Chain A
Amino acid sequence: MPHRPKSTLFAAVLIIAALALVVPQSINQYYLFILYDIGINIILAVSLNLINGYTGQFSLGHAGFMAVGGYTSAYITTVLGPKLLLLLGGAGTASSSLLFLGSLLAGGFTAALAGLLVGLPSLRLRGDYLAIVTLGFGEIIRVVIQSMDAVGGQRGFSVAQTYTNLFWTFSMAALTIYTIVALVRSSYGRGFIAVHDDEIAAEAMGINTTQYKVTAFVTGAFFAGLAGGLYAHSKGFLTPGGFDFMKSIEIVVMVILGGMGNTLGVILAAILLTILPEALRSFEKYRMILYSLMLVILMITRPQGLFAWNWKWRRRASPATSNKKGSP
């Protein structure tokens, strides 16, 4: 059995990497930026899946981590960028790529730090209680950014250079998928699923549940921060209002629709939920009604996740299916 998960994983990574190379930069900007949105949403959904799906902690603060990463990396390229570019040896493609990569990683690490800060005190809580804490935390981040004059506060922050391109978006998406799948499938990573399935039993088996939860939170937050950086450099404008509770919910919907703890399903859901609202544009004002109606239908007909199949190997690796043996 061990070949199959690895081969699907590599296939997914390869497909994504190939997409970045095959699609020419000259395609219509509108489609190009939808592709960026897809890549960013894949990162967000897959990283939230580690927390909500595999580890079974219900987080509603993902947009908050995204905001931390987005603002950090935007601040680095916009305010510190000109000086850093000089240090890196002038404004060439190589040095600006390096600056962008550095800013993305910095955004990721700051978000991870924020994840650690919220994770340590709050992860003693479970279920609904944790959801409320993360929700509150997401709002705190937003309000803090709102009152920070250095990044424009409520007025929003214009990003000087839109560095995001297909290569960066999809290599980061591939990195996210690879890291999270490899982490969960490692022998260490089985602990996440143990925490998800039964915390008390896991603790009895000698698993440090708090450590696992914090690890999931910090890793998830790191990738959300990366996604935030890509978002900032693709939209070119950040406003605290864009990282509110509804943004977190959007990501949660992707995870639930794809199937909790099913990476492939979550990726497909992220793609679908990015394309769907755009494809429905011609319905004008009925668009969001149709969109919501589809979500309702999908959830009624596929409560285990739109793309959850009971493959043999998946039953072992995925908590979502192992937990729902009794359901149809």
Chain B
Amino acid sequence: MKTRVQALCGVTTLILVTLLLGCNKPAETSQSNTPGKFQGVIKIGEFASLTGKEAAFGISSHNGTQLAIDELNAAGGALGKELKLLTEDDQSKAGEPATVVRKLITRENVIAILGEVASSRSLEAAPICQQNKIPMISPSSTNPRVTEIGDYIFRVCFIDPFQGTVMANFAKNTLKAKNIAILTDVKADYSMGLAKFFKERLIADGGKVVAEQSYSGGDKDFKAQLTSIKASNPEGLFIPGYYTEVGLILGQAKELGIKFPMFGGDGWESTKLMEIAGPAAEGMYFSTHYSPELDAPLAKTFVQKYQAKFKEAPDAMAALGYDSALILVEAIKKAGSTEGAKIRDALASTKDFVGVTGTTTIDAQRNVSKPAVILTIKEGKFKYVETIAP
């Protein structure tokens, strides 16, 4: 009996201690170093999938955003104030974005929100930002519905219809392929959307879908689908999925002796793809937002700085995260105020903003039109192929 009481006491103290620590920490950080040159701080909130299924994307995006904020602070902040990025992790889990975004807005009083990579989580957070009249910029949610939530919701990446269309053009013009097979992830809306727009464009251009197969995100064996696709003799296979499954698919396709080219969207972009697929990934293509090989001065310095700080080459998520922060701070400066409505108006009037991922113009639907790049995999690295303008 005594030991049980002791154990209970121990556990309770443990919980109380963590609760107390948990409560104290934010207070400490909020009164952190404000050097003499700044008068006050501007708080910017960010929610990202730092842990969980899509952590690779979330961390890249966060690194890019943080880099931009650090640089802007070194260059004097905005409106004479220090910029402060408050980041919350949503564990790649539904239900979490609503909680963390509410926390950022109502407890931390941030003036704007940056995030997320995944469209489903941006869709969960967007109504809360809209309701509180806090501008939100999604760096890389490509689903068209995100910005339809309201006039405070923006994005700095192109949308799914465009990416599907780009890959259809690529298949037609560069691969010279007409009979295409499609392998979709039925669990991912992203995948279904891309496949839909790809198919529409392909058929409009006189191409043909010779086989349509599907899998569920998390599957490990794709041989049945691949065998059936192989039997239909396509000239190319479009796989609009995420890197984990795509890596396995590419590996298994090689085992089955499949020779035709395979290509997909920006969900492929992770070095994990090559880790999983190995040499099977060689010579495959995908569309994305950005390539570190792009010959633009800004892109070059970004790559150098990113590599110096994080010891790896930046991917598209990092570049978009970086651009989203730049565009937001530019709007804050232009608005001359930290009021939600004024920042919103300034954001809406963003025109020909030169960032790392190209020139960004925000349209009336708060989407952007900007070029897509096609990358291929060569000797285990991403290589730039071409840029396809909108």
Contact = CB atoms under 8 A, between A and B. Distances in A.
B35 interface: no
Contacts of A146: 186-187
Q: Is chain A's binding surface mostly helix, strand, loop or mixed? A: helix
Contacts of B88: 281
Interface stretch (B8-16, B239-247, B315-323, B336-344): B8-16
Contacts of A285: 50-51, 89
Contacts of B105: 29
Nearest to B104: A30
Given A28-B106, A29-B102, A281 B22 contact: yes
Interface string B301-316: 0000000000000000
Given A30-B99, A237-B98, A288-B51, A282 B123 contact: no
A68 B189 CA distance: 20
Contacts of A283: 22, 25
Contacts of A234: 98
B186 to A, nearest CB: 7
Nearest to A280: B22
Contact of A280 (B7, B18, B102, B103): B18
Contact of B127 (A30, A153, A236, A294): A236
Interface in A242-299: 242, 246, 272, 275-276, 278-285, 287-288, 290, 294, 297-298
A279 B188 contact: no
A316 interface: no
B186 A154 contact: yes
A236 B128 contact: yes
Interface string A24-47: 000011110110010000000000
Contact of A279 (B10, B23, B128): B23
A239 B120 contact: yes
B36 interface: no
A236 B124 contact: yes
A301 B89 contact: no
A278 B21 CA distance: 12
Nearest to A147: B186
B74 interface: no
A155 interface: yes
Contact of B102 (A33, A158, A272, A306): A33
B37 interface: no
Given A153-B189, A154-B188, A290 B11 contact: no
B103 to A, nearest CB: 4
Interface string A69-93: 0000000000000000000000000
B126 to A, nearest CB: 9
B60 interface: no
Interface string B204-216: 0000000000001
A237 B216 CA distance: 22
Contact of B19 (A239, A275, A301, A328): A275
Given A235-B95, A237-B98, A237-B127, A302 B7 contact: yes
Q: Is chain B's binding surface mostly helix, strand, loop or mixed? A: helix
A224 B105 CA distance: 30
Given A235-B98, A302-B8, A328-B4, A294 B189 contact: no
Contacts of B106: 28-30
Contacts of A272: 15
B94 interface: yes
A5 interface: no
A219 B174 CA distance: 60
B94 A239 contact: yes
A284 B23 CA distance: 13
B18 A279 contact: yes
Nearest to A231: B95
A323 to B, nearest CB: 18
Interface string B121-140: 00110011000000000000
B95 A242 contact: yes
Nearest to B20: A279
Contacts of A284: 50, 89
A241 interface: yes
Interface string A130-147: 000000000000010011
Nearest to B8: A302
Contacts of B3: 328
Contacts of A239: 94, 120, 123-124
A156 interface: yes
Interface in B67-125: 88-89, 91, 93-95, 98-99, 102-103, 105-107, 120, 123-124
A30 B107 contact: yes
Given A33-B98, A33-B99, 17 more contacts: A28-B107, A154-B187, A155-B143, A234-B98, A235-B94, A236-B98, A239-B94, A279-B18, A279-B19, A279-B23, A281-B88, A281-B103, A283-B25, A284-B89, A285-B51, A294-B18, A302-B11
Interface of B: 3-4, 7-8, 10-11, 14-15, 18-19, 21-23, 25-26, 29, 50-51, 88-89, 91, 93-95, 98-99, 102-103, 105-107, 120, 123-124, 127-128, 143, 145, 149, 186-189, 192-193, 216
Q: Which 7 residue pairs across A and B have the least CB separation, nearest first? A: A242-B94, A282-B25, A279-B22, A301-B7, A154-B189, A237-B124, A29-B106
Interface of A: 28-31, 33-34, 37, 143, 146-147, 153-156, 158, 231, 234-237, 239, 241-242, 246, 272, 275-276, 278-285, 287-288, 290, 294, 297-298, 301-302, 306, 328
